[in-house]
Amino acid sequence: MLPEIYFTELKNRQKTISSPFLILLQNQLKGGKILDIEHPNFDRILHFIIRPYQKFGKVQNKILVVEFMGKHGNMILLKEDKTVETSIKLIDCNISRYREIMPGKLYIPPPSQNKIDPLNINREDFFNIFNSLPAENKGLSLWKLIQDSFIGLSPQSAKEVVLQANLSPEMNASEASGTDLEMLWTSFNRIVTNI
C-alpha cells in the first residue's frame, strides 16, 4: 500500500559506471555504513545518513538525499553540515529562485506542499476537511480529497482508507454523511497508525 525501498547485499554486476555523479558516489561512499534513514514529515524525500569508510583522518558523515518528485526528483550528496557536495541535477538561481542545488550551497528542501501531517490530526479537524470544503474541492471524490489533504498519502493509500470504510472511492466528498465521516475517520486512524 505504501511505497517501499529494499536493500540488498548482492553486488552490482555491471562494471561500467558512466555517470560522473555515480563515480563520485562510489568514491565517497563505497564501504560506508548506513547509520540512519530519515523520512522528514512524510514528504517525498529520504535522507540516508552514511559514515564513509576512511582509513586516515577525521571521518565526516555524508547525507544522501533522494527526492522522489517525478521529473523534479533529484539525488543530492551533502556534507555533514548540510552543504551540497554534488547532485544529479545541479540547479542554479537561473532555474530556481527558491533554492539552489550547487556545490558549497546550504541544502534547502523542496517547498512544502501545505498538507496536513496524518499523524497529527484529531477527529474534529478531520471532519472539518469534509465539512468546510472550498468551492474548488466540492467535486472531488473521497479518495482524492484525502490524498490532496495529507502529506505522504499515495492515491492507493487514500483509496484504501475509503475502501476500508466500506465506501466507494469515487463518491463525491461533499456527499459524505456524518456516518460516512465516522467510518472514514476510523479507517484513516487504523491505516495511519500502522505506518
Distance CA 191, CA 82 (A): 33
pLDDT at 171: 92
In Å, how far from its chain's centre is CA 161?
A: 19
Contact 187, 162 (CB under 8 A): yes
Q: Which domains does the chain have, with CATH numbers?
A: 1-112 (2.30.310.10), 123-193 (1.10.8)
pLDDT at 15: 67
The one-digit pLDDT tens for each residue of the chain (195 residues) are: 445 778 888 877 776 667 888 888 988 898 899 999 998 877 789 999 999 988 787 889 999 999 988 788 899 999 999 999 999 999 998 888 889 999 999 999 988 778 898 988 999 999 999 988 787 877 899 999 999 999 888 888 899 999 999 999 999 998 999 999 999 999 999 998 876
Indicate the helix (H) or strand (E) that contains 51.
Answer: strand 45-51
Q: Measure the CA angle with vertex 29, ends 51 and 71; round to 5°.
A: 110
What angle in degrees, to the nearest 10, is found between the helix axes of 142-149 and 178-193?
A: 50
Four-residue CA torsion sign, 100, 103, 106, 110: positive
Distance CA 44, CA 79 (A): 21
The grid coordinates of residue 116 equal 496536513
Helix (H, G, I), strand (E, B) or coil at 38: strand
Q: Measure the CA angle with vertex 40, ends 36 and 42; round to 5°.
A: 120
